[in-house]
Each structure stands twice: as C-alpha cells, then as structure tokens.
Structure 1
Amino acid sequence: MDGTRDSGGDCPTTARDDLSRCSRHEDSLSFALTLRIEWFAMSRRSRQQPVKTHPFRHWSVALLVMAGLGGLFWRAAILQATERAHLEEEGRARFIRDVPDLALRGRILDRHGEPLAMSTAVDSVWADPKLFCRDNQKWGLLSKQIGIDLETIRSRCEQYGGRRFMWIRRHLRPSQAAKILDSNIPGIALRREYRRFYPSGAASSHVLGFTDIDEVGQEGLEKSFQDYLAGRDGLKRLWRDRSGRIIDGMEIDRVVHGRDLVTTLDIRLQSLLHSELSRAVSEHQASAGMAVMLEAQNGEVLAITNYPKFNPNNRAEFKGPLLRNRSLTDPFEPGSTMKPFTIAMALSSGELTPETLIETSPGWWRVGNKTISDVHDYGTLSVSGVVVKSSNIGAAKIAMQFPPEELRELLAKIGFGSRTGIELSGESAGRLPKRRQWRLTEHATLGYGYGFSVTALQLAQAYQVLANDGLRFQPTLISQNQNARSKQVLSAEVTREVRAMLRQVVTPEGTARRARVVNYAVAGKTGTTKKIIDGQYADRRYIASFAGFAPANKPRFVMVVVIDDPKGEHYYGGRIAAPVFSKVMTRALHLFNVPPQPPLSLQQTYEVVDASY
C-alpha cells in the first residue's frame, strides 16, 4: 500500500509525509482561482455601470471648443470685411498677371517703299523677385547665360525684393532667350518686345532719329510722328503656375499696331550724299559737314545728311554732338551764295539789267571803317559778271544803291530769318537783323552774305525759289498737297535772268568749274566765308559751300553742300564743296532718267582747273 497512488487524486496515498505539502498546494490554487473570479466580476460591473464625473468638466470642454470656433469665425469675418480686396489682390498677384500686348511700331519708308526704319521681334527676360530671389543657387546659371554679373543680380533683388516684377535683361535674340526659359529657373519668364532697326545705318540717322529702349521716339521723324507710328498697346491676362511659368492666357484689350510712314527721301541719294560728304570732310580734315537735296518743283526733301555721324543701331554712339542735325540747327554766314538774291532785288526794281556795268577797280573799296576787297582786280564788270566772278565789291555797290530794308524784306520773303516748318524738331531760324538805323558797313556786307546767318536747309529753300520761277515751297519730308504751301516771292522773269547768270558760274570762266555734270547744264554759286569763333572772325578758319541746281534750263534737283572748317591746303567752296555736288547730282540725274541737256557752251566736257572762290 505504501508504494501505490490513488488513481483519482494528485497526492500520493502511501507517503504520509507528503500529505501536508499537498494540502498547502491545493489551498493556494483555490485562492488564486477565487481572486481571478472576483476580478472578472468587478470588471464586468465597471463596464456596465458608467463612472460618475462632476458636470463642470463637461461645460469647460464645451466652452473651450465653442470659443475656438468662434474665434475662427470672427477672424474670417474680419478678413472678409476689412482685407478682402488685399487678399484677392495677393491671390491674383501670385497666379494672374495682366501684361501689355505691345503694338508693332510702324515702319518708316522712302519714296519707293524701301524700309528706313523697322521693328524686329526680340525677347526680354524678367523675374518675379519673390520666387527668383529666394533661390540664389540658380543665379550663377542665369549669369552665364545672359552675361550679367552676380553682383548686379543681387543688387536688383535687394532693390525689388518686395515686388512681383523686375527686368533681368532686355532685347535678347529669341534663340538665346529660349535657352534661358529651358533652364526652368523659378520665377524667370520672357516677354516679347520689339527693337528698332535702321537698315541704312548712319546715312539717314539725323533725319530719322531714333527711339529709346521702349520704342518711344527721341529724335528726328521718330519723335515728330511718335503717335502716328506707335499705335496703341493691347492687354493680355496670363495665368501662371507656382513656378511662374505661363500656362494660359486671354486677350482683354485688342492691340492696334502703328502705321507706316512714307517719306519723300530716296535711300539711294541719301546714302550717296552721305558717303560723298563724309569723304570730303575726311579728305579736307574739316570739323563738320552738311548737305541737303530737294525736288525743285515742290520742295520735297530727297536727302539730308550731316557729319559727324552716328549709328542709330548702336546706343553707345548716342552722344550729344553726334546727334545734331546740323543742316537744321547750325546757322552760318552764307557769304557769296547770297549774291544772286542781291542781284534779284536789283533786277526786280527795274533800275538795273544783267548788262549794267559796275566798277570794281582797283580790287578794294573803303566803306566807313571797313575795307571790302576781291581776290583779284576785276575792273569793270556787268551785273552778270559780278555773279560769275563773285565780286564782293560789285555786290556791295549794287546793294547800296537800294535801301537796306528792301534787301532785308526780300531775304525774309524768301525764307531767311524764320523756320522753314519742316517736320523735324530743333530747327533754327537763323538770324536776319532788323534795324532802325543801318550802318554803312552793315548795309554793304549784307549784299554779299555777311551780317546774317542761315541754315543749310534755308539756303536750299532759297535756291529752290530761283529754280522754280520764284515760287517758294515749304520743304517737307512727307508727300502732300504742296499747292497750299507755296508762295510767289520773285517774278519768273527775274529768276530766269538770275539762272542764266548762275549757269555761267559753272563754266571755265566761273568759280564753280568742279560742280559740272557731264552732258547737263548746271547752275549754282560758290561761297567761302570766315568762321566766327567767340564772336570774332578767326584767322584762316573758313566755311566752304556750294548751292545749285540742275538741269539749269529746267531744274529738277536743288542741292546745298557745306564744309565747316576745312584744315587742309584748300578751303574755297569751288574746290571743296562743288565736287560733292557734281558727283551726287550726276548720279541723281541718271537714276531719275532726266534727259541729257547740253551745257551753255554746248561742250560735252570742261577742262578741270582750280577754282579759287
């Protein structure tokens, strides 16, 4: 019995010593089971019966939530009432931008439709500073692409940091601008603009003028016809993504492009006159030159050019002295080119004829405290001879046979002392004195072109009167009805007599041999005057000029050439200015198919000899 176990229990039945230990084990198991049952019962009761809390806690939480929501609604109401416009503007500024749709500026054309000024498409780079300036790691890439240094970019970001627009680089080639756009730099965009281009370069720069970077006329025809050429910009609305790239757009205001301006200029003659004038100025080391060419029958301007010159396609050359249209702005004493008008006054009076004799011996003449002299002692000259030989003494004696007011009145009627009214700004009126009492020297010198001043354009207008039977036209650069702008200031008979005298000037006997045009009769007059510097006539400083027209018997073209302050060996108008006239007039007569007309002596050519007047 001691070695067997009870089959129904866990404790041994044969070992009494183990009975007490087995009893304690069963007691502990029973206690643990009892605790587990009680814990389970308590958990179940706690889930079935809610925990009681104080009501104050519920109201506190509810009040806090309501206060938060109320604050949010109150802030929203305040923003809606007081800052609605500002917030809408901020939103629009981030994603919507209204930009101008630039009008294409009208072209300037010559009389044959050749472009003198035109606008070409370019792209300009701009940035949204709030997007671009915050990412300076992209600045280096942009700097290399457009050739702008990093310091400039940094400076612009500091200046425009609070705005939504700033220029980076304007007027780039479209191919170069496309590469920048492909770089995907945040805040960078392109704007299509236009840049003015002048195909003839410096040749027509003074008459055409130029525009600024925004294509607003600053000088010349560009300025005078700004409204006509400019048109009216439109307006586009663009939508952008967060990187500033344009994703859509619409037209708000339709653009109106500018109109083309057709001028009376001939680009062939303009270029030729500019080339020959520049060559003469350089050859004779002169300070400046001016030249004007008109249609004899209506005063239309074919060419106006000056030297020094500037290239309107290069803004680096836009410097004050180079920009002056000297043909309109720089008056000078005309000298002997005025003698034909002194003669015209005398012939109009009926008291003198072309054959009236004038004594010029012994080559000098004392008037008051001034001595008037000729280059040679010409002895007795006819009125025609006074013009052909360019006698100062003869012109002064003829002038002094009439009241000074009579000559001044004629000069004023011809157009001296007042602006011509050409369609360009900055024109000078010259100077034609009006005195209550004329001194003898003032009266005498007025007869041969001293004591008053004219511009090259005024002088061309005056010779147009002689070429057109005494009918004066206002010089113009725009084709129009000129009949309403004409005035008879000399009789046709008198002007024909003066033209016959001027034809003899361009012969071996006259002072303008170098102005000849083979197979055509030419009429004109040389001029050589002392240059005034600081109110005094300077020693060996001169202005050389030639004014004339061709063909002499039926004039088609009028031209004036002025060389200012030549410093070479020669300085006479017949030697310096007349050859420019000859070369340009020859080409003009051929270009316009003017039939050949033999010169006065029926010779086809002249022997070229030095001119000394």
Structure 2
Amino acid sequence: MNVSKRMKRVVACFLIVFFLLLVRLAEIQLFFTESFSKLNINLIQESVNQRTEEVLISDGRGSFLDRNGEALTGKKQPAIVLFPFLITQDWPIKKAADILGISQDELQHELKQAKKPVILSKRTIKDLSKQSVKQINSLKYPGIYGVYMEEDDKPSLASHTIGMTNQDPSLLRSKYPDKNDLPIQTKIGTTGLERTFDEFLLPEKDTKLLYHVDGKGNPLFGMDVKYTAEANSFYPLQVKTTLDQDIQQAMEDIVDKQGLKKGGAVLLDIEKSSVLGMVSRPNADVSKQSTLQNYMLNPIYPGSVFKTVIAAAAIERDAVKPNQTFNCNLNLYGEPGDDKGSLTFDESFAQSCNYTFTSLAEELMKKDETVIEDMSEKLALTDRAGWEGKLYHESDFRQFYNEQSGVIWGDQKDKAVKKAIAQTAIGQKNVKVTPLEVANMMATIARGGEKKQVKIADHIEYKNGTTMVNFKDQKIGGKTIDRYTAQQLQKVLRQVVTSESGTGRRFQDLPYEVAGKSGTAQTGKMSKDKKTLYQKWFAGYFPAEHPKYALVVLHMDTPGDKALTNAVFYDIVKKVHENEIN
C-alpha cells in the first residue's frame, strides 16, 4: 500500500516537472521568442546568428570629427575579406595574390588555418590600397571581397576626451528601456564624449558581409554572401568637435617624449572659447579603471597659480599703495624663512613671493570675508568651465563627462584662522581647481574679463554633412572683473616671463610672447627615495599682446627638481607656432 502511494507521488512529481518544462519550452519557442528574459533577448535572431558567419564592416555607431572635418573615430581602412569555403573552390588565387603582392602559398596558408572569415588589412599587407580593393572586386568571385572597414582599435588619440565604448546589456536596457530593437551586444559609451553624446551615436543598423553555414561550417545555401548596410543618408550622426587633430597629436607626442607620466595639458582657443587639445596621463587602459580618469577635469591643488586671484582682489580693492614693498624674507606666516628681499607687488608676483599674497589676503579678509571666493567666481574659477545647457529633452546637458567644479573653502571657520587664510592664499589648504578651469581663467583675463563656457563640441551633423544642432557660445553668469583689473593682471602675468627673476623666464625666447603664472603645491606624499612630491603648474596665454591661445600644463606627484611642466609648456607653444605658420 505504501509502495503504491509512493509511486503515485513520484509519478505526480514527474508530471508536474514535465508540465513545468512544457510551459518553459512554450515560453521559449512560442510566447517570448523575441523578448526572452529581462534582457529582452530575441531568440529567433540568436538562433540565426548561431548558423551565420559574418564580417562586421561597421557597427553603425556615430563618430567624431575634428574641427577641420577629419575623422577622429570611425576611420575606415581598406581590407580584403576571404571566406573559408574558398579552400574547396577553384578560385582565382593567382590573380588575387598578384594584386595583393603576396604569394599563393601565403593565401592558402591563411585559408587552411581559418575557421572564420579571414581579414587582410594593412597590418598584414603594407601596400594595401584603394586600388587593391577595386582590383579585388573586379574579380567578381564569391568569397573574396574588397571593403573599407572601421578600425576596431580604441581611439589612441585624445582617448580620455573622446572616451570609450563597451558592451553592457544591463546598462543598455536600464538607460534605454524604450529601445528594445537594440541588440544586447550593442556597445554604448562609458566615458568621455562617447558617454555624453551616446544617445546621438547609437547605431541604427550595422554593415556586414554574411553567409549561412551548416554544422560543419560549410555554406548552407551555396556560396551566396549577403551584404547588409544602412541605406540612410542621415544616419549615423557625427559630432564635430573643436579639437585640432594635428595639435592634439603634437601635444600627446610632446607629453610622452618629455616623459610626463601623470598630469597633462589643455589648450584653448581664446576667441572661440573651445578646446584645441587636451591630454591626460597615464594613458587610458580599459583594464585599469584608475587610468580612465581625465585629470584635466579633476580638482587639484593649484599652488601659486591661485595668487592670480589674490592679485586680482588686491587690484580691484586698491589694497596696494604706490611704491609699497613687501618683506619677502618672511614666509607665508610672516616668519623668517625666505630670502627674496624687499619686493614690490609686481616683483612679488613675478617671483611668486608667498608673504606678499598671504599678507594681502589677510588684509582683504578683514574687510570682506567673502572676497576670495567672490574673486574666484569673477575669474570663472569655481564654476564648471564646460558647456552646459538645454539640448532637446535634456535641460542640463553637459559636453564634458564627469567634469567637476573647484572648491575654495572646506570649512567656513577657516576664514577666521590666520594660518588657514595664508594657506588658502597660496592655493593650498582646501583650494582645488581643475586645469580646465584654470585655462578658462587665463582666457577670461586675456579677453579683458569676459567669461565664457568652454566647448569641446561645435555641432552635431547628419551623415550627409547638414547640421542637426549647433552649440552656441554661452557666457558664464555672475559678476566679472572690470577692464582695469584685467589690464593690470595682464601686465603682471607678462612680467612673470619678462623679469630676469621671474618664474617663467624660460619662455623669453619663444616665438610667441607668453604671459602666465607658475604654481607649486605640496601633495603630502613622498617618493620612494623620500623626496617630497608636488603638483607643478604653469598656466598662461599667448601671444601676450594679441591673445589667441590659453595653455595649462600640470605635472602631478613629482619631485620639484624632476618637474617637466616648463619643458612641456615650452614645446607646445613652439609647436603651435610651427603649426600656424605652415
């Protein structure tokens, strides 16, 4: 009796499990074939994909151009595609080998080893050209094709600025819940401009060569190879950046040649308030998250570059008397420690005397405790520098990914502490600003006090070159410095270079006249050989009389005697001049 009951239970369990399996099978094959699981996987499409060999020529994603219309991403190079089934055919191998400039044996070897279509590019055939593609296609034999393929490497130029794409099905579905037609393997932007402009760059349709195979990899329907492409004159879209490809390349070459391992440089077009070149180091490596950080958009201790703010406040508030001198044998706290002698205000700025600016800051703070942050705002140093505004349904679209804003005071109580005021005056304590903000401050001074947002993208255009949307120039709101203050700042910034004791005297023999300010900030870190590490800056603009460019160079975590800041700044200015006259 007990045995009979157990048998019934076993049979019942078996039937229940069998029923559940039938339900699951029905879900898979009948009800949810095109939207299976939370990821909305198209099972029919995936089944077809398993029986299809394909060569992706272009993923259909939008691309980036430089300011001259040259491709920064989505570049196409000639390539030859050989399908594996050619090995069993009597195909014109000799003609193909002659066109490609390689032996028949080499082609046969490539095919014998192949389990998937073989792609021959300039990496394997140096002389591959447009003519090669044309001649291969003139053979008109199924299985060998000349095409133009997008480079599959990540962009090596401006990698931090342009950013990266990756496959992330969960992020794709959460970010675009209404775009169920996007395959789960679609790449989306994760950093840089790829991230901020991702919605405009999403592919409409990719371009492929494909053919169907049986279980052994042989052609299922003969040697019929299908070409699929987007027949649309408007998509994919292109983002025309303000970057200059030649200048960007030169800046990266200079930074690397000099050996700057951490930090970078940013160059602005002052009139257009746009980025011509932006370099961050270390190089971006997708396998190392820390390398993806763009230091040009991160707040960093500015050191004496921040004395520009104190100088502006002193000029505006008329805090310096005619012929007044400062005892620069004293350190920032007013104690014996330096040996620069008695200096005027202009000399103090040129030689970066700490005591002058800490004493001025203390005097100014007694009259107005908000004077430092107010002047920082007037100089565009505490607002995000990058372009932001309304773009279609986004009310707060930002061109720069993960751009941060500067900070002056960490604790309002510090405004009543003498040593805290002194440290703040020389760009230490809690003062942190981004190199892009500093570059924008220099551009603001060079323009006579006019504050503008900085652009990295000029417009978005359709595939046929017509404009979809323009990014208009936008001013930064709030108060600005007056014309007189700007002129006086221009004078002292120039004296940093022209003075024989100035901290920028190295730049005197450049083909452009440079104005600017150096900066050295302690990091609180030590090197392996027990040397103090600093953040070393030089920020300026040129030509001094008729400013066109603002440039900031930053070398991070470096011993003072090993800093490459001035060498990099020097070489970039020289290269910009060469680029302009050629």
* TM-score for both structures, normalised by structure 2: 0.65
Contact preservation (8 Å) 1:546, 1:578: yes
What residue identity is the alignment partner of 1:531? T
Matched, 1:455 2:423: no
Code of the residue aligned with 1:348 in structure 2: it is E
Structure 2 partner of 1:308: 282
Equivalent position amino acid for 1:337 in 2: V
CA contact (8 A) 2:64 2:73 kept: yes
1:335 maps to 303
* Residue equivalent to 1:359: 326
CA distance in 1, matches of 2:210, 2:328: 86
* In 2: Cα distance, 1:459 partner to 1:227 partner: 30
Which residue is 2:172 aligned to?
A: none
Deviations 1:233-256 (A, max 9, x none): 279999968753485979899666
The answer on whether the counterparts of 2:379 and 2:445 sit within 8 Å (CA) in structure 1 is: no
Deviation of 1:295 after TM superposition, in Å, equals 1.1
The alpha carbon displacement at 1:343 in A equals: 0.8
Residues 1:277 and 2:251 aligned together:
no
CA offset at residue 494 of structure 1? 0.7
Residue deviations 1:88-112 (CA, integer Å, cap 9, x gap): x999978999x99976333322112
> Is residue 373–residue 393 contact of structure 1 (8 Å, CA) maintained in 2?
no
Is the alpha carbon distance of 1:512 and 1:238 closer, same or farther for their aligned partners in structure 2, counting shifts above 3 Å? closer
The 5-angstrom pairing of residues 50-449 of structure 1 reads: 104-120=60-76, 172-173=119-120, 195-196=150-151, 202-212=156-166, 214-233=186-205, 244-245=220-221, 257-281=235-259, 287-310=261-284, 318-329=287-298, 331-352=299-320, 355-364=322-331, 366=333, 373-374=337-338, 376-379=339-342, 381-403=343-365, 404-422=369-387, 423-433=399-409, 435-437=411-413, 438=415, 439-449=417-427
1:78 maps to none
Alpha-carbon displacement from aligned partner over 1:48-105 (angstroms, at most 9, x marks no partner) = xxxxxxxxxxxxxxxxxxxxxxxxxxxxxxxxxx99x859x999978999x9997633
How far is the alpha carbon of 1:227 from its aligned partner? 2.6
Q: Determine helix, strand or coil for the equivalent of 2:320.
A: coil
- Post-superposition offset of 1:279: 2.7
Shift of 1:401: 1.2
Residue of structure 1 aligned with 2:573, choices 570, 585, 588: 585
In 2: Cα distance, 1:236 partner to 1:549 partner: 49
AA matched with 1:360: N
The one-letter code matched in structure 1 to 2:197 is F
Whether the 8 Å CA contact 1:527–1:545 is kept in 2: the answer is yes
Distance change (3 Å), C-alpha of 1:345 and 1:568: closer
Work out whether 1:546 is the aligned partner of 2:513. Answer: no
**Counterparts in 2 of 1:91 and 1:459: CA distance versus 1, 3 Å:** closer
The structural deviation recorded for 1:566 is: 2.6
Q: CA deviation at 1:363?
A: 2.8
Give the drift of 1:569: 4.0
Q: Structure 1 residue 115: deviation in Å?
A: 1.8
Evaluate the alpha carbon distance shift between residue 233 and residue 350 of structure 1 in structure 2; reply closer, same or farther with a 3 A threshold: same
Cα distance in 2 for residues equivalent to 1:352 and 1:304: 37
Shift of the alpha carbon at 1:119?
4.6
In structure 2, what is the Cα distance between the partners aligned to 1:251 and 1:172?
A: 18
SS at 1:459's partner residue? Answer: helix
The question of whether the paired residues in 1 share the 8 Å contact of 2:350 and 2:503 is answered with yes
Identity value in percent: 21
**Alpha-carbon distance in structure 1 between the residues aligned to 2:491 and 2:575:** 23
Aligned to 1:530: 522
Q: Is the 8 A contact 1:342 1:398 kept in 2?
A: yes
SS of residue in 1 equivalent to 2:457? coil
Change in Cα spacing, 1:590 to 1:195, as seen in structure 2 (3 Å) is closer
How far apart are 1:533 and its partner, in Å? Answer: 3.7
| Distance in 2 of aligned mates of 1:431 and 1:298 | 26
In the alignment, is the contact (CA less than 8 A) between 1:470 and 1:491 conserved in 2? yes
* Residues 439-465 of structure 1 deviation map (CA, whole Å, 9 limit, x = unaligned): 111112222211211121111111111
* Alpha-carbon spacing, 1:260–1:382, altered in 2? closer, same or farther (3 Å): same
Change (3 A) 1:384 1:237: closer
Runs of at least 5 residues in structure 2 that lack an aligned partner in the other structure: 1-25, 34-42, 85-108, 125-142, 168-185, 388-398, 459-469
Q: Secondary structure at the match of 2:347?
A: helix
The alpha-carbon deviation at position 399 of structure 1 amounts to 0.9
**Farther-moved stretch of structure 1 (341-350 vs 510-519):** 510-519
Q: Is the 8 A contact 1:527 1:546 kept in 2?
A: yes
Amino acid of the structure 2 residue aligned with 1:382: T
Partners of 2:48 and 2:545 lie apart in 1 by 75
Match of 2:490 in 1: 499
Do the aligned residues in 2 keep the contact of 1:105 with 1:119 (CA within 8 Å)? no
- 1:500 Cα deviation after fit: 0.7
Letter of the aligned partner of 2:361 in structure 1? A
Q: Which runs of 5+ in 1 are unaligned?
A: 1-81, 128-142, 149-167, 177-187, 311-315, 595-613
Partner residue in 2 for 1:74: none
Per the TM alignment, residue 556 of structure 1 is displaced from its structure 2 partner at its CA by: 0.6
Which residue does the alignment assign to 1:163?
none
CA 1:589–1:496 in 2, change beyond 3 Å: closer, same or farther? Answer: farther
CA distance in 1 between counterparts of 2:207 and 2:570 reads: 54
Q: 2:445 aligns with which of 456, 461, 466?
A: 466
SS in structure 2 of the partner of residue 276 of structure 1: helix
Distance 1:218 1:126, change over 3 A: farther
Shift of 1:400: 1.0
Q: 1:471 deviation in Å?
A: 1.0
8 Å contact from structure 1 (residues 120, 197) kept in 2: no
In structure 2, the CA distance between the partners of 1:114 and 1:357, relative to structure 1 (3 Å rule), is same
Which amino acid is 1:260 matched to?
A: Q
- How big is each residue's C-alpha offset from its partner over 1:264-313, in whole Å with a ceiling of 9 and x where there is no partner? 1112211221122223335xxxx512111001223200110022224xxx
8 Å CA contact retained: 1:372, 1:392: no
CA distance 1:302–1:570, shift in 2 (3 Å): same
Judge conservation of contact 2:512–2:573 (CA < 8 Å) in 1. no
Alpha-carbon distance change, 317 to 193 in structure 1, aligned in 2, over 3 angstroms? farther
Matched-pair contact (CA < 8 Å) for 1:237–1:252: no
Map Cα deviations across residues 292-342 of structure 1 (whole Å, 9 max, x no partner): 1001223200110022224xxxxx76422332212113x321111111211
Would the alpha carbon gap of residues 450 and 234 (structure 1) be closer, same or farther in structure 2, given more than 3 Å must change?
closer
Aligned to 1:510: 502
Q: Amino acid of the residue matched to residue 374 of structure 2?
A: E
Post-superposition offset of 1:435 = 3.9
Distance 1:544 1:351, change over 3 A: closer
Partner SS, residue 490 of structure 2: helix
Q: Which has the larger radius of gyration?
A: 1
Q: How big is the alpha-carbon RMSD for the aligned residues of Structure 1 and Structure 2? A: 4.5
Question: C-alpha separation between the residues in 1 aligned to 2:336 and 2:204?
Answer: 61
8 A contact 2:265–2:296 mirrored in 1: yes
